[in-house]
């Protein structure tokens, strides 16, 4: 979460380095009048012209505030679109940091869209291009058109053209001393030999020779591979590379640099610091979810008209897929930006929130997952290994602090689970290659009547056949009334086939079989396992709906986190982040989704046994929830919970299984 300000509380403006800036008016009308008077006086006074140039060379802020202009095409009135470039208060730390390392140190820029970072760097380049001998600057972006499309201010170099053209004539080099070309993109000052040259990110940037400074605009959008190549090839040729971008996922060099900058300074420009965007900054920390002003003295009160329509706005946001944390900083400007046509949670994460994970268009809403994680995730009551007795063939649990099986339930003195009702076990199967980049095989254990997770078995080094033996062992161990647990798995590729063959060899029959649906009827087939081919979004969508509604409760913290690995790729296909760089492909070239996919399979099994599912009033299909069961405690929590932010504190747990007493380490769960 972004703090209300990215500017350090103890930051002090270095007045001695910018002695002429204080005389520049920051009010727009007063500034325009100041500029007009200054130009009129300098037009008749060559000595003043020379003095002003010296002042600009020494004081970057004075150069910006007294002479540079910029364009704001979004302004509705045409006469206001060209405006004086007056640095805003939240831009001052960025300019000071930029000046301090200019020409001698790399710098990373992490920003929201529209905060002026590229304009700041263009203005700083122009200053040295005008008055420093043999200054060389390179500008790179994802395409050559993004670097330089003549007259198009959405590209980078025309911004410099515009600022240069609007300087006083006596500040500009004579026309015959200015060379401007688009093939290649070049602005050449023949008076002092300084150049600003444009490049595409697909070029070999190292061949550009030595540079005083580089500007890499929207580095996160550089082609993957070319971004790292640019870093490698330019490191020997320039001491100063300004890498500027909004986020675009996590699979790029920009993300890696921001997350591990080392000694490289990072300039952060977030919308919460922009006074045009943060008016009435608020959170939804009110017990009823209403906006609460963060700091009325600093940001102002939440507008009354906005408060009046908040319930309707909240419904619209929810319908668009937005889910905000109760302590997330918002403003009326930001909320209305969310609701603009075409904007999505992914758009806002990428363009404004500085949220690299959110830019990957997660299938599960991050804020919702974080809320449910905080609400329901708890430490397991124990970790175990699964062992089979060679003599009897029975399965037992043995306590093991690093065991692959985690349980959120009691175990009796005979090392058997204290069952409250039938369970389902959903499996996600991997190749079983033990390496740092391979995926896990997971068996997720859920109570059928409550949809509550009670266990998960996670292992990386069991091949599909060995994991099938484990799954059958778990299904046998978690039997209820002499009937084994209901077993299912994602049946895709050769791993699914190998897993099923071993299940069949073990003479295990209580597993999921697919349905065949036609226009007249629905019939059970003999095809084993849950197929996600072409319908992964449907199966995960059913689970997501149950997860959001509290019908399927995840208690594993790691499980909540892994749900965010489901993302849409650039073609709109639902994938897991492992699929981008997977060393563990299955026979069909797919990777697996670990805990998240196992949960979805388990929920599909719950839906496949509706006669045993509880009804909406909390009862089982076969009768009321057993006293002391999780289902009964869930009903109690509904009656006890006073608000959606309260933690659930249930009464002492009753004993299970006749005379067997509950384990001292048993856990009680909050109502989802």
Q: Which fold has domain 376-612?
A: Nucleotidyltransferase; domain 5 (3.30.420)
Provide the token pair at 240.
């100063």
What pLDDT is attached to residue 131?
Answer: 97
Q: Which of 8-12, 278-282, 413-417, 572-576 has the lowest mean pLDDT?
A: 8-12
Mean pLDDT over each residue of the chain, to the nearest integer: 84
β-strands 423-428, 405-407 pairing: unpaired
User: Considering the chain, what percentage of its residues have pLDDT values greater than 70?
Assistant: 83
What pLDDT is attached to residue 497?
Answer: 93
DSSP alpha helix (H) spans, 345-463: 345-351, 366-376
Name the residue among 640, 639, 657, 658 with its Cα closest to residue 649.
640
**Sign for the pseudo-dihedral over CA of 168, 174, 175, 177:** negative
pLDDT at 329 over 60: yes
Q: What's the pLDDT band for 367 if we cut at 50, 70, 90?
A: confident
What pLDDT is attached to residue 323?
Answer: 78
pLDDT at 441 over 90: yes
Question: How far is 442 from 563, CA to CA, in rounded Å?
Answer: 14
For 96, phi and psi rounded to 5 degrees?
-65, -45
Q: What's the pLDDT band for 636 if we cut at 50, 70, 90?
A: very low
Question: How far is 213 from 139, CA to CA, in rounded Å?
Answer: 9
Question: How far is 24 from 34, CA to CA, in rounded Å?
Answer: 8
pLDDT at 107 over 80: yes
Q: Which of 281-285, 504-508, 574-578, 665-669 has the lowest mean pLDDT?
A: 665-669
The b/e string for 609-623 (b: 16+ C-beta within 10 A; e otherwise) is eeebbbeeebebeee
Name the residue among 377, 350, 448 with its Cα closest to residue 111.
350
Q: Estimate to the nearest angstrom the gap between the alpha carbon of 605 and the chain centroid.
A: 31
Average pLDDT over residues 309-317: 91
Say if residues 1 and 370 touch (Cβ distance below 8 Å).
no
- Cα three-residue angle 35-37-39, rounded to 5 degrees: 65
What pLDDT is attached to residue 334?
Answer: 96
Q: At what angle do helices 28-43 and 46-58 cross, to 10 degrees?
A: 130
* 287 to 291, 375, 649: CA distances (angstroms): 10, 15, 19
Name the residue among 63, 154, 141 with its Cα closest to residue 113.
154
Q: At what angle do helices 493-505 and 464-477 cross, to 10 degrees?
A: 50
Q: At what angle do helices 117-131 and 92-100 cross, to 10 degrees?
A: 40
Q: Which of 4-13, 89-98, 187-196, 216-225 has the lowest mean pLDDT?
A: 4-13
Q: What's the pLDDT band for 632 if we cut at 50, 70, 90?
A: very low
In a 13 Å sphere around the CA of 415, the CA atoms on its Cβ side amount to 14
What pLDDT is attached to residue 646?
Answer: 37
Pick the CATH number of 88-273 from 3.30.70.20, 3.30.110.40, 3.40.1360.10, 3.40.50.300: 3.40.50.300
Q: What's the pLDDT band for 288 if we cut at 50, 70, 90?
A: confident
pLDDT at 87 over 60: yes
Fold matches, 88-273 and 376-612: no
pLDDT at 664 over 50: no
Q: Estimate to the nearest angstrom the gap between the alpha carbon of 146 and the chain centroid.
A: 25
* 379 to 290, 326, 450: CA distances (angstroms): 32, 24, 19
Show Cβ contacts of residue 506 under 8 Å, excluding neighbours closer than 6 positions.
Answer: 468, 469, 472
β-strands 486-489, 453-459 pairing: unpaired
What pLDDT is attached to residue 477?
Answer: 94
| Tokens 């399979």 sit on residue | 601
pLDDT at 436 over 80: no
DSSP alpha helix (H) spans, 44-172: 46-58, 60-67, 92-100, 117-131, 144-147, 157-165
Residue ranges of domains in the chain: 88-273, 282-357, 376-612
Q: Which of 20-24, 75-79, 353-357 has the lowest mean pLDDT?
A: 75-79
pLDDT at 434 over 70: no
pLDDT at 266 over 80: yes
Question: How far is 533 from 529, CA to CA, in rounded Å?
Answer: 12
Q: At what angle do helices 60-67 and 117-131 cross, to 10 degrees?
A: 100
DSSP alpha helix (H) spans, 68-195: 92-100, 117-131, 144-147, 157-165
Q: Of 85 and 251, which is predicted with more confidence?
A: 85
What pLDDT is attached to residue 570?
Answer: 62
| Tokens 């086939």 sit on residue | 497
Question: How far is 185 from 144, CA to CA, in rounded Å?
Answer: 8
pLDDT at 424 over 70: yes
What pLDDT is attached to residue 661?
Answer: 33
What pLDDT is attached to residue 359?
Answer: 64
Radius of gyration of the chain from Cα atoms?
31
Q: Which residues pair with 480 in a beta bridge?
A: 483
Q: What's the pLDDT band for 1 if we cut at 50, 70, 90?
A: very low
Question: How far is 640 from 553, CA to CA, in rounded Å?
Answer: 18
Q: Does 184 sit behind a cis peptide bond, omega within 30 degrees of 0 on the bond before it?
A: yes
For 152, phi and psi rounded to 5 degrees?
-100, 105
Q: What is the pLDDT of residues 512-570, one digit of tens each?
A: 999 887 767 778 889 999 988 878 888 998 999 899 889 999 999 999 989 988 887 76
Q: What's the pLDDT band for 615 if we cut at 50, 70, 90?
A: very low
Say if residues 422 and 479 touch (Cβ distance below 8 Å).
no
Q: Of 516 and 296, which is predicted with more confidence?
A: 296
User: Considering the chain, what percentage of its residues have pLDDT values greater than 90?
Assistant: 60
- Cα three-residue angle 318-321-326, rounded to 5 degrees: 60
Q: What's the pLDDT band for 603 if we cut at 50, 70, 90?
A: very high
Q: Of 623 and 166, which is predicted with more confidence?
A: 166
Q: What's the pLDDT band for 614 if we cut at 50, 70, 90?
A: very low
Instruction: Find the helix or strand (DSSP H, E) in which 318 lies.
Output: helix 310-319
What pLDDT is attached to residue 634?
Answer: 44
Q: What is the pLDDT of residues 540-553, one digit of tens each?
A: 989 998 998 899 99
Name the residue among 244, 208, 211 with its Cα closest to residue 227.
244
3-state class (DSSP) for residue 415: coil
- Cα three-residue angle 363-369-373, rounded to 5 degrees: 150
Average pLDDT over residues 649-666: 33
Average pLDDT over residues 172-200: 95
Question: How far is 44 from 22, CA to CA, in rounded Å?
Answer: 25
What pLDDT is attached to residue 92?
Answer: 94
Q: pTM of the prediction?
A: 0.64
pLDDT at 393 over 70: yes
Average pLDDT over residues 211-222: 95
pLDDT at 613 over 70: no
Question: How far is 251 from 298, CA to CA, in rounded Å?
Answer: 38
Average pLDDT over residues 642-669: 34
Q: Of 393 and 589, which is predicted with more confidence?
A: 393
Show Cβ contacts of residue 525 under 8 Å, excluding neighbours closer than 6 positions.
Answer: 513, 514, 515, 516
What pLDDT is attached to residue 388?
Answer: 86
Name the residue among 509, 467, 506 with its Cα closest to residue 487.
509
């Amino acid at each position: 979460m972004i703090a209300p300000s990215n500017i350090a509380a103890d930051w002090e403006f270095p007045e001695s380095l910018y002695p002429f800036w204080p005389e520049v008016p920051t009010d727009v009308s007063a500034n325009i009048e100041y500029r007009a008077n200054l130009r009129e006086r300098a037009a008749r006074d060559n000595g003043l012209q020379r003095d002003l140039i010296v002042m600009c060379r020494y004081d970057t802020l004075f150069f910006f505030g007294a002479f540079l202009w910029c364009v704001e095409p979004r302004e509705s009135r045409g006469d206001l679109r060209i405006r004086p470039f007056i640095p805003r208060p939240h831009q001052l730390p960025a300019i000071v940091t930029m000046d301090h390392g200019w020409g001698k140190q790399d710098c990373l820029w992490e920003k929201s869209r529209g905060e002026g970072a590229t304009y700041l760097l263009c203005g700083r380049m122009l200053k040295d291009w005008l008055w420093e001998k043999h200054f060389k600057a390179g500008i790179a972006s994802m395409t050559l058109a993004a670097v330089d499309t003549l007259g198009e201010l959405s590209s980078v170099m025309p911004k410099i053209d515009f600022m240069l053209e609007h300087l006083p004539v006596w500040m500009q080099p004579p026309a015959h001393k200015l060379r401007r070309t688009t093939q290649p993109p070049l602005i050449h000052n023949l008076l002092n030999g300084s150049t600003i040259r444009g490049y595409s990110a697909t070029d070999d940037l190292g061949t550009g020779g030595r540079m005083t400074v580089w500007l890499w605009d929207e580095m996160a959008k550089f082609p993957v591979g070319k971004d790292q190549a640019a870093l490698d090839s330019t490191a020997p040729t320039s001491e100063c590379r300004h890498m500027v971008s909004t986020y675009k996922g996590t699979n790029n060099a920009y993300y890696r640099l921001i997350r591990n900058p080392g000694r490289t300074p990072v300039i952060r420009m977030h919308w919460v610091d922009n006074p045009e965007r943060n008016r009435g900054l608020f959170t939804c920390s009110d017990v009823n979810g209403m906006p609460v002003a963060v700091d009325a003295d600093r940001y102002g009160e939440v507008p009354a008209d906005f408060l009046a329509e908040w319930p309707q706005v909240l419904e619209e946001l929810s319908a668009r897929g937005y889910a905000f944390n109760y302590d997330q900083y918002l403003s009326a400007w930001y909320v209305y930006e969310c609701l603009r046509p075409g904007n999505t949670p992914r758009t806002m994460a990428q363009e404004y929130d500085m949220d690299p994970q959110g830019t990957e268009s997660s299938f599960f809403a991050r804020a919702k997952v974080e809320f449910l994680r905080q609400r329901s995730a708890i430490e397991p009551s124990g970790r175990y290994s699964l062992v089979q007795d060679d003599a009897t063939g029975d399965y037992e649990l043995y306590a093991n602090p690093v065991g692959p099986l985690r349980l959120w339930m009691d175990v009796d003195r005979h090392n058997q689970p204290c069952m409250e009702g039938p369970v389902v076990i959903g499996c996600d199967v991997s190749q079983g290659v033990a390496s740092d980049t391979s995926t896990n095989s997971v068996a997720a254990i859920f109570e059928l009547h409550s949809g509550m997770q009670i266990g998960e078995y996670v292992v990386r080094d069991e091949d599909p056949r060995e994991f099938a033996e484990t799954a059958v062992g778990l299904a046998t161990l978690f039997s209820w009334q002499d009937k084994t647990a209901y077993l299912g798995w994602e049946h895709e590729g050769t791993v699914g086939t190998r897993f099923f063959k071993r299940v069949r060899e073990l003479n295990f029959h209580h597993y999921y079989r697919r349905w065949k649906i036609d226009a007249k009827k629905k019939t059970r087939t003999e095809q084993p396992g849950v197929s996600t081919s072409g319908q992964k979004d449907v199966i995960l969508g059913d689970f997501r709906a149950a997860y959001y509604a509290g019908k399927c409760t995840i208690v594993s913290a790691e499980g909540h986190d892994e749900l965010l690995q489901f993302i849409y790729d650039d073609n709109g296909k639902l994938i897991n982040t492992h699929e981008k760089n997977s060393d563990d492909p299955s026979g069909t070239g797919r990777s697996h989704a670990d805990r998240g996919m196992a949960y979805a399979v388990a929920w599909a099994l719950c839906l496949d046994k509706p006669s045993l599912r509880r009804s909406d009033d909390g009862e089982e299909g076969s009768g009321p929830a057993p006293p002391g069961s999780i289902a009964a405690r869930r009903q109690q929590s509904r009656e006890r919970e006073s608000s959606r932010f309260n933690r659930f504190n249930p009464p002492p747990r009753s004993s299970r299984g006749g005379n067997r007493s509950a384990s001292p380490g048993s856990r009680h769960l909050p109502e989802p």
